[in-house]
Structure 1
Amino acid sequence: VEADRLCELHLKVKDNLVNESINKVKTWQKDTYHKSMIQIKERKEMEDAFKKAQKPWAKLLAKVNKAKSDYHTACKQEKSASNQERNATGDSSFSMDQVQVKKMQDRVQKSKEEVQKGKEKYELALQELNAYNPKYMEDMTVVFDKCQEMETQRLQFFKETLFSIHKCLNVSQDPDLPQIYEEFYHTVNNADHEKDLKWWSNNHGVNMAMNWPLFEEFPPVNHKSSNKKAAPVTSQVSTNRTISTESSESKKSEKIENNGTTTTLTNGNGTTAGREANPFEEEEWDEEGGDALVDTGEPGVPVKALYDYDGAESDELSFKQGDLFEKLEDEDEQGWCKGRKDGRVGLYPANYVEPVQ
């Protein structure tokens, strides 16, 4: 039907996602990224490559920064010394001897020399740094291009994977989908109400074949089975309790007069039937009944007891729920079966057992 086939189509989508896309991602991840104790191996390699390319240039940059700091410090000291010397010589109220003035002038001169030296070192450090810049750019570009290549492969793989997922999810492109609904349409379109109604009339209506009653000969009677009361009917009340009921038509009481002349049978509706007692005929009856329960040794069909049953007569089998034994003959018109249990042949209610699968 349409629902089942559509369900199979969606299950195929799931299988394609699991077997193709997800497995492909797992394989790519396993081949591309390798985990170490702390982090991914490829990430550490790229970080180390960048550090290696930056290390020489970083040393030159540190040298430039130090020269710059020294030069700026010398400039501050030179400016401070010049201000002190100018203030000392320009203030008439402040009298200083020539020795102190000379010291201040020497200090200013020395500061200017330190400024000049610092400037030269600063410029030299910048020249060295600028001279190394091309090499630095080259080394960094090599590492960066390698990272870009790895990222390009990653993005391309993601794009291919997303296209693969799109292909799996896009059921509209699956050739089975339109076929499902085409067959669905043709199935509905092929429905013929006149044909269906005609079939119903032929099988269940006025046009069905008649089975009128015909004359039937009296079938041969098994003396034991015909004289046997109807098998009890069981109805399940609970898991451990059953109720046995007997057909009202099969209930009868048998009253036998001790004078041996007349036997009176009373059935459920109160009618009686009498016949003369014939000891030879009764003995012959018993012999026929005994022959019916003789164990011929033929194999039977395994059956399992559904309920407990205690045989009310000597020719009946007794069993418990779950017992296994053999069925030798099928159910008769009274609802009894012939069976064999523990080497003994007897009768039992047919509806008390089920075949063993």
Structure 2
Amino acid sequence: MTEVERALVGGCCPVNVETRRTAVGRVKATGMSTLPPEDAPEDAPEDVNKQSFWMPGNYHQTVKRTEDAFQACNDIVTCFQERARVERLYAQQLSEWSNKWRPLVDASPLYGSLLQAWQCFLSSADRLSALHSSVCRSLVSEDGDRVRTWQKETFHKKLFGGFKESQDIDTGFLRAQKPWAKRLKKLDKARSAFHKMQRKEHAIRERETHANGNPDVSIEKQKRIQEERELAQLETEKVRARYEKVLEEVTRYAPRYMEEMECIFDQSQEEERKRISFLKQAFLSIHRHLDVTNNDSVKAVYNELHNTLMAINEQDDLRWWKNTHGPGMPTNWPQFQDWTPGKKIKKERKQKAVEAQASTIERSVMIGGVRVRALYDYDGQETDELSFKAGEEFLKTEDEDDQGWCRGMKDGGREGLYPANYVQVV
């Protein structure tokens, strides 16, 4: 048995003297406003005070809050599970969009920094897809599980339905209202008897007044009517005294009743406060997961995209085109050649030497004009691949091939292949 229940069995909740004085003062000031006025007719419409918390049975809405909160938890989990599906579908669509366009973009006629800018949109979509997938997981596995766990720990279901928490509150209110309801019933009975006697006396007075002014009514009959009126008047006074006594008893008990009801109500309020506090933190956690505007990863994605777009340089791109497909390309201008024995073999060797020289010339031109910075870490998988860390700078010596690979040379002279979309032009 809880402390509140023991106090109720003992007759009163453990409240201090100041609380009792406040309750007494409230009753005196309001005249116990929960009671209907004495002059209200029996067949009058139900008074607005009948809806008051203080009237018997009107506490059930407060008790029902426990079941409502349990159902609200179910609705919250279902609501944000649906939002998680939206996040998952969005991540999936971003990834599909990026995969669809990547081969087309890589094979587009654009080149240089303009091509890298277009490719950066696709890589940004991939990173945003991963981010929204993580939002989906957080909503389901973190926020949803958190609410479910709290719900299981907070609400204890009974075997035949309902919750132990709501039953405890309902039992407390019922115990507090039981003696009050008896007194109200007794008061209603006394008031009804008093009003009935008043109506009877009023009817006899009207008969007496009519008889006194009517010469057709005999003196003897007028005397009998007068005697009836006097008896009714005495009976009314007796019933009135009984009614006032019961009313005084109800008024005297009201402060104690109010204290006990407020004690149980405060207990219910504390449980509701804990529920509200938890759900507030749950909503804040959901907000933190959904608010991608404050996510550092999102900021990094769009900052990188912005920097890539700002790095579009028409002069660098035009210089690359000139050196790769224009007048800057090396060539072997025709020269007079005399015939010598073994010329065919010498010619093949010389051709190889010229090609090697042309490759060196082309590479030197690119070394002088294309310096790149690594966007991500890369560990070479083959012996002919370069390895580097994000932020490291080196020289791009050959342009991207059809497979998306470039050739580069680090400051130490190490040469090798690397993925083109892992770097950007400095």
TM-score of the aligned structures, taking structure 2 as reference length: 0.43
Task: Report SS of the residue matched to 2:215.
Answer: coil
Q: How far did 1:89 drift?
A: 4.0
Q: Which amino acid aligns with 2:135?
A: V
Pick closer, same or farther for the CA change 1:90–1:4 going to 2, 3 Å.
same
**Structure 2 vs 1, CA of residues 139 and 197 (structure 1 numbering), >3 Å: closer, same or farther?**
same
**After the TM superposition, which residues 214-293 of structure 1 pair with which residues of structure 2 at under 5 Å, given as runs?**
none
1:143 correspondence with 2:250: no
Cα pair distance change 1:38/1:214, threshold 3 Å: farther
Describe the SS at the equivalent of 2:156.
coil
Q: Say which of 180, 191, 197 aligns to 1:68.
A: 191
Aligned to 2:146, which of 9, 18, 24?
A: 24
Give 1:38 deviation, angstroms. Answer: 3.5
Q: How many residues align?
A: 207
Residue 133 (structure 1) aligned to one of 254, 262, 266? 254
Deviations 1:86-128 (A, max 9, x none): 43344222335x3x44433332221111101111011101100
Aligned counterparts of 2:153 and 2:129: Cα–Cα separation in 1: 35
Q: Partners of 1:87 and 1:181 in 2: how far apart?
A: 100
Which runs of 5 or more residues in structure 2 are unaligned?
Answer: 1-122, 333-343, 347-426
| 1:139 Cα deviation from its structure 2 partner | 0.5
- Tell me how far apart the structure 2 counterparts of residues 162 and 90 of structure 1 sit (CA, whole Å): 82
Counterpart amino acid of residue 67 in structure 1: A
Whole-angstrom distance in 1 between the partners of 2:149 and 2:320:
58
Deviation at 1:133?
Answer: 0.7
Match of 2:276 among 131, 152, 155: 155
Tell me the SS of whatever aligns to 1:91: coil
Q: Give the aligned residue type for 1:177.
A: V
Greater helix share, 1 or 2? 2
Q: Structure 1: how far apart are the matches of 2:269 and 2:331?
A: 84
| Change over 3 Å in CA distance of 1:17–1:94 after alignment to 2 | same
* Aligned counterparts of 1:13 and 1:207: Cα–Cα separation in 2: 57
- Could you say if the C-alpha distance between residues 63 and 207 of structure 1 is closer, same or farther in structure 2, counting changes exceeding 3 Å? farther
Cα distance per residue 1:189-216 (max 9 Å; x no partner): 3885378658966xxx9779xxxx979x
d(CA) in 2 for partners of 1:45 and 1:26?
23
Amino acid at match of 1:134: P
Q: Computing the radius of gyration over CA atoms, which structure comes out larger, 1 or 2? A: 1
Give the match's secondary structure for 2:200.
helix
| Counterpart in the other structure of 1:240 | none
Report how far residue 67 of structure 1 moved.
0.9
Return the alpha-carbon distance in structure 1 between the equivalents of residues 274 and 227 of structure 2. 68
Task: Provide the identity percentage.
Answer: 34
Q: Distance in 2 between matches of 1:169 and 1:40?
A: 33
Cα distance in structure 2, aligned partners of 1:3 and 1:83:
95
Distance 1:195 1:214, change over 3 A: farther
RMSD after superposition: 3.0
Distance 2:167 2:198 in 1: 44
What are the superposed Cα offsets for residues 287-338 of structure 1, whole Å, 9 maximum, x if unpaired? xxxxxxxxxxxxxxxxxxxxxxxxxxxxxxxxxxxxxxxxxxxxxxxxxxxx
Q: Secondary structure at the match of 2:150?
A: helix
- Return the structure number with greater relative CO, CA threshold 8 A, min gap 6: 2
Q: Which residue is equivalent to 2:66?
A: none
* Residue of structure 1 equivalent to 2:61: none
- What is the distance in 1 between the residues matched to 2:294 and 2:209? 93
Aligned residue number for residue 193 of structure 1? 317
The structure whose residues are more often strand, as a share, is 1
CA offsets, 1:226-248, max 9 Å, x none? xxxxxxxxxxxxxxxxxxxxxxx
Query: Judging changes above 3 Å, is the alpha-carbon distance between structure 1 residues 207 and 50 closer, same or farther for their aligned structure 2 residues?
Result: farther
Question: Structure 2 matches for 1:97-108, cutoff 5 A?
Answer: 98=220, 100-108=221-229
1:4 pairs with 2:126:
yes
4+ aligned runs moved over 4 Å, structure 1: 185-188, 194-201, 205-208
Query: Where does structure 1 lack aligned partners over 5 or more consecutive residues?
Result: 216-357
1:182–1:77 distance in 2 versus 1, CA, 3 Å: closer
